[in-house]
Amino acid sequence: MSGARIVLALVLGSWLIAGYTTFAKDAEETSSGLFHLVETDPVPDDAIRVCESCANNDLQATIDSADEGVVIVVVGGSWAPVSIDKPLRLAGEDWPVIDAMGKGSGITIASADVTVEGFDIRSTGRSFDHEDSGIYFEGERVRILNNRLSEVLFGVNGALGHDSEIAGNTISGQTGVSEGLRGDGLKIWYSHRVQIHNNDIRNVRDSLVWYSNECNVYENSVQGSRYGFHFMNSDDGVARRNSLVDNSVGIYIMYGKRFTVADNLLEGSRGPSGQGLGLKEVDGFEVTGNLIYDNRVGIYNDNSPYSIGQIGWLSDNVIAYNDSGLGIVPSARDNIYTHNSFVENLEQVTVLGSGALSSGNQWSYEGVGNFWSDYSGYDADGDGVGDIPYQNTSIAEELRRTHPQLQLFRFSLAERAIDFAAQAMPLFEAEAILMDDSPLVNAPTPQNAPEVTSNESTLHTTALSVSLMATVGAGIWWARRPGAGLGGA
C-alpha cells in the first residue's frame, strides 16, 4: 500500500508544481521596456507651491492669478479639473490627482508654451461630441510629460500644436468597453513637428496623427487598441522603434508622402482586418528593420506608392509567423523588396483580389533578394544567394484564392494531398505569384527592433510535461501491479 501512496504523492506533487507555475506565469506583467519617464527641467526656487494644506490650496485660482511663464508645483492631493489659458509650467510632485469624476476633461490648455508634467488624471466624461480628454490642448510648443492618464475617453488630444512634445505618459482607456466605444489615446491634429516618444498606451481606440507633417513617433508602446498608430495625410513622418502589440492594426498610414517606418515591433495584430503595417496609397516610403510577427497580415499594401515615379522601399524587415506575410493588391507596384526575411508565414505572400500581382515590383535589388523559409533551392557556390530562383507556388493557395470558400479546409490532409499530387504531376502546377531570382539562403535577423513579447512559459511547459510523464508512468505502474501478489513473481 505504501508504494501506491508514494506514487500517488509524486504524481499529485508534480501537478501541484505545474499548477503553481500557471499562476506564476499569470502574475507576470507584459512590458515592452520602452516606456520610461523623461527628463524634465529642474524646478526653480521661486516656483509657486500648491497643496491641500498650503496657503495656496485652490489650484484653478492659483493658475488664474499667476503671471505668464511661472512654474506652479502641485504637491499630491486631489484636485478638480483645471483650465490653463496662459503660458506656464504645471509640475506635479507626488502624483497629484485630477479626477474629472466622469464629467468633461481633466486639464484643458488653450495657450501656447504650456508644460504639464507629473499628474495623475482620471475618469473623464464620456462625450464624443466634446471629445472629453485627459489633457486637451490647442497651442504650439505644448509639452505633456510624465503624466498618468487612466479611465479616460480621449487621452492626450491636441490641435494646432506645432512643435509640441508628448512623452513619458501612460494612457489607458476604459476597460470593459469595446474598442469602437473608446476614445483615442492620442489625437494630434494639424500639428507639425510633434515629438511623441516613450509613452505607454493601452486599451484605447486609436492613436491618431492627422494632417501633421514631420512628426517623430518613437519608442512608444501601444497595446490592446484598434489602430496602434494611424497616420493620415501626414508627410515626412517617422515611426521608429515603437512596440505595437495585440492591436487590430499596428501602424496604418493613409495618404501622405515620404514616410519612414523603421525598427518597430509589429506583433499580434489580429481580427478580420488585422495588419501589422498598413500602407494605403502612400507616396514614397521606407520600411526597414521592422520585426513583423504573428499578425493576420504582416504588411498590407493597398496601392502604395500611389503616384507614378514614387518608390516603396522595404528592406531588412523580418516578417515571421504571420497568417500572410505580405498582403498585396494586384495593382500595387514600384515596391522594392530586398534583404527581408520571410519566415514561416502560413502564406508568405497573398494577393488580395483577383488577378496576378503587378510585375512592377522588384523582389531583389542589385542581386540581393530576400530570405524565404520555404525556399527549397541550394547554394552550391556558397555566395549566400540561392542558385535557382524562389517561386511561390502552391496549388492549394491558388485554389484558396480562386475559391475563397476552400479556406475552410486549411491544414486538412485533403489539402496537403492536393499539393502533394500537384508536385507529383506537374500538369496541375500553379502559377507562381512572384519570383525572387536572388533568394538569400541565410535569414537577416532583427537588429534594432524591440524583442517579441513571448507569452510562453518554459517553466510551465516543463512542469506540465514532467507531470504528464509522471502520470503516464504511474499508469503503467498501476497496470502492471498484480492485484494480490500473484501474476508477476
Partner 1 sequence: MSSRSVLTLTQRELLDALRNRWFIVYAAAFLVLCISLAAMIVNSAGYAGISGFGRTAAGLINLVLFLAPLMGLTLGAQSLSAEREQGTLAYLLAQPVSLGEIFLAKFLGLAIAIAGAIAIGFSISSLAIMYWSGGAGVGIFLRLLPLTLLLGWTTLAIGFVISAVSDKTVSALGIGVVAWLLLVLIGDLGLMGASVAVSISPGMLLTLTIVNPLESFRIASILQLRNSIELLGPSGLVANDRFGDLTLWVLVGVMIVWLTGATMLAYVLARRRELQ
Partner 2 sequence: MEPAIQFDHVSKRFGSFAALDDVSFEVPSGQSIALWGSNGAGKTTLIRCMLGVTAFRGEIAVEGFSSAKHGKDVRVRIGYVPQVMPLFDPPVGEMVDLISRLRGVDSAEGLRLLERFELKQTLNKPVKSLSGGMRQRLALTLALLGNPHILVLDEPTANLDASSQKDLLTLLHQLKDEGRTIVFTSHRWSEVRSLADTVVHLEEGRVKEMGAVSALALQQDLVFIRLVLDESSISPASTALTSAGFQPYSGDGSVHVTVADAHKMDVFGALSAADVRVRNFTLEVEE
The residues that touch partner 1, with contacts defined as CB under 8 A, are: 270-272, 274, 291, 293-294, 296, 318, 320-321, 323, 341, 343-346, 371, 373-374, 399-400, 403-418, 443-446, 452, 454, 456-458, 461-462, 464-466, 468-469, 471-472, 475-476, 478-481, 483
In the DSSP assignment, the letter for residue 446 is -
Decide: is 489 part of the binding site for partner 2 (CB under 8 A): yes
Query: Which of partner 1, partner 2, none lies near 6, with the C-beta cut-off 5 to 8 A by kind?
Result: none
Query: Which of partner 1, partner 2, none lies near 486, with the C-beta cut-off 5 to 8 A by kind?
Result: partner 2
For 221, the 3-state DSSP assignment is strand
Query: Which of partner 2, partner 1, none lies near 337, with the C-beta cut-off 5 to 8 A by kind?
Result: none
Strands 195-197 and 165-167: parallel
Q: What is the x/- site pattern for partner 2, positions 453-482, by CB under 8 A?
A: -----------------------------x
Instruction: Give the list of residues 6+ apart from residue 475 with CB closer than 8 angstroms, or none.
Output: none
Q: Among 176, 309, 355, 488, which residue interacts with partner 2 (rule: CB under 8 A)?
A: 488
Comparing CB distances to partner 2, the nearer of 272 and 488 is 488
- To partner 2, the closest distance from the beta carbon of 2 in angstroms equals 21
- To partner 1, the closest distance from the beta carbon of 259 in angstroms equals 25
Comparing CB distances to partner 2, the nearer of 5 and 480 is 480
How far is Cα 162 from Cα 141, in angstroms, rounded to an integer? 6
Comparing CB distances to partner 1, the nearer of 132 and 316 is 316
Comparing CB distances to partner 1, the nearer of 78 and 175 is 175
Q: At what angle do helices 2-27 and 458-480 cross, to 10 degrees?
A: 160
Comparing CB distances to partner 2, the nearer of 42 and 485 is 485
Tell me the sheet residues that pair with 158: 137, 188
Positions 318 through 357 that interact with partner 2 (CB under 8 A):
none
10 Å CB burial of residue 26 (0-12, 13-18, 19+) is: exposed
Positions 397 through 426 that interact with partner 2 (CB under 8 A):
none
**C-alpha torsion sign, points 379, 384, 390, 392:** positive
DSSP string, 255-317: S-EEEEEES-EEE---STT-EEEEEES-EEEEEES-EEES-SEEEEEES-S-STT--EEEES-
Comparing CB distances to partner 1, the nearer of 82 and 318 is 318
How far is Cα 6 from Cα 8, in angstroms, rounded to an integer? 5
- To partner 2, the closest distance from the beta carbon of 481 in angstroms equals 10
Q: Among 1, 424, 479, 484, which residue interacts with partner 2 (rule: CB under 8 A)?
A: 484
Comparing CB distances to partner 2, the nearer of 403 and 480 is 480
Comparing CB distances to partner 1, the nearer of 78 and 462 is 462
DSSP string, 6-33: HHHHHHHHHHHHHHHHHHHHHHPPP--S
Query: Which of partner 2, partner 1, none lies near 309, with the C-beta cut-off 5 to 8 A by kind?
Result: none
Backbone angles phi, psi at 130, to 5 degrees: -90, 0
**In 10 A of CB 258, how many CB atoms?**
16
How far is Cα 39 from Cα 180, in angstroms, rounded to an integer? 34
- To partner 2, the closest distance from the beta carbon of 477 in angstroms equals 16
Question: Where along the sequence are the contacts to partner 2 (CB under 8 A)?
Answer: 482-489
